[in-house]
Amino acid sequence: MAQIFPVRRRCPFAPPPEYADLREQAPLVRAELPGGVVWLVTRHAEAQQVLSGKGISTSPATPGHPNHVLHPGGPTPEREAHMADMAAGHFIDLDPPEHTRFRKLLIPEFTVRRVRELRPGIQDIADRLIDDMLHKGPEADLVADFGLPLPSLVICRLLGVPYGDHEFFQSRTRTMLNALDDEQVRFTAASEIRNYLGALVTAAEKGPEDDLLGRIITSGRLTHDEIVGVIFLLLLAGHETTANMIPLAVLTLLRHPDQLAALRADPDGWPMAVEELLRHLSVVDWVAFDRVAIEDQEIGGQLVRRGEGIYVLGASANRDERAFERPDDFDARRGARNHVAFGYGVHQCLGQNLARAELEIALRTLFERLPGLRATVSDEEVPAKYDAAIFGLQALPVTW
């Protein structure tokens, strides 16, 4: 009997409990979707095999892609028109060599060296946000007052987007990623963002500056529509995931005061702690890891035929007992860089170095400057986004 899917998360600090049962069953499990069945990849080794890209496609245009099973009967005319409008520059949905064309252009913008140059700016943003919190003090919503604006400020500065428009982006992206919103409402929000960015790119094309957007324009390797699509992706990915991680990571650390005390005593431990938080929380799960086999192949001892859809359960792979000792325990000293929170292989997250820097600086600075920081509600009272495509908290009331 096939597993019903998707399974709803029910705890802020753990994936759905059914995932442990699925891992025990097999590395690949059949799941029922509205239009048929797909494979769920439950374990770490098989997740890396699928995400490596060999014999696998990520493109929704490939026959058998899980999107066709999740939305049986094909897309509505509105969705089809929206997908066509959004296709240019949406390189995460492309396979090599087209995907490679975009990635090679963007990799130099997110190297360790380039991100190191951005760190003072990130630090300044974190300090100014905390200054504002202290001024308003001694209570705040860590989501609205810190978690959302920090990565928004960083990515807007990086892309040359006026920060005065950050609330516009935050409201539209929340609508786009909210599974409970009407489909047309989500499409409208995405179109509004893309139209805004189209005007921004048009203005930049008249006099490109020496920034990320200017360098993409002057490279001459992308069309106008492709540039708009790339900026759209970077803006969305560059603030939504980190914005969800920061408050949830804070709450996780507050639940482990001994480990938090050790980090305060030895700040050099923060990079390892960030890796463990990424693994342990896995705010991006199956929605980012939809694939389809383009050739017959064996995965985890199971024959997967060409045209069969696949979802990699990232949150399950990151709790796999075969890859991590005591995987359900949070251990800030684990330093588990082999997690798949950023994916794996050819589609591994382009901005992972930036995300790591933002998380490290945000968390370290918060706990250094607000040593008495604590949540003012219990874990059970914290409102979580259980129906959102990217998991996180709706709010986190705190005091210091």
Task: Give the tens place of pLDDT for each residue, 153-173.
Answer: 898 888 887 877 877 877 787
pLDDT band at residue 116 under the 50/70/90 scheme: very high
User: Mean pLDDT throughout 56-64?
Assistant: 93
- Report the pLDDT value the prediction gives residue 198, as an integer from 0 to 100: 92
- Report the pLDDT value the prediction gives residue 77, as an integer from 0 to 100: 62
Report for 32-36, 181-185, 352-356: range of highest mean pLDDT: 352-356
Q: Is the pLDDT at 180 greater than 70, yes or no?
A: no
Least confident of 25-29, 192-196, 359-363: 192-196
**Is the pLDDT higher at 190 or at 182?**
190
- Report the pLDDT value the prediction gives residue 87, as an integer from 0 to 100: 75
User: Mean pLDDT throughout 199-222?
Assistant: 93
User: Mean pLDDT throughout 104-124?
Assistant: 95
- Name the residue ranges covered by the structural domains of the chain: 3-399
**Is the pLDDT higher at 377 or at 160?**
377
Range 3-399 has CATH code 1.10.630.10: yes
Q: Which tens digits make up the pLDDT trace of 301-344?
A: 999 999 999 999 999 999 999 999 999 999 999 988 899 999 99
User: Mean pLDDT throughout 64-81?
Assistant: 70
The 3-class secondary structure across the chain, one letter per residue, is CCEECCCCCCECCECCCHHHHHHHHCCEEEEEECCEEEEEECCHHHHHHHHCCCCEECCCCCCCCHHHHHCCCCCCHHHHHHHHHHCCCCHHHCCCCHHHHHHHHHHHHHCHHHHHHHHHHHHHHHHHHHHHHHHHCCEEEHHHHHHCHHHHHHHHHHHCCCHHHHHHHHHHHHHHHECCCCHHHHHHHHHHHHHHHHHHHHHHHHCCCCCHHHHHHHHCCCCHHHHHHHHHHHHHHHHHHHHHHHHHHHHHHHCCHHHHHHHHHCHHHHHHHHHHHHHHHCCECHHHCEEEECCCEEECCEEECCCCEEEECHHHHCCCCCCCCCCCCCCCCCCCCCCCCCCCHHHCCCCHHHHHHHHHHHHHHHHHHCCCCEECCCHHHCCECCCECECCECCCEEEC
Q: Which tens digits make up the pLDDT trace of 277-308?
A: 999 999 999 988 999 999 999 999 999 999 99
pLDDT band at residue 86 under the 50/70/90 scheme: low
Q: Is the pLDDT at 79 greater than 70, yes or no?
A: no
Q: Is the pLDDT at 213 greater than 90, yes or no?
A: yes
Q: Which tens digits make up the pLDDT trace of 184-210?
A: 787 888 888 888 889 999 999 999 988
pLDDT band at residue 67 under the 50/70/90 scheme: confident
With a pLDDT cut of 70, the percent of the chain lying above it is: 94
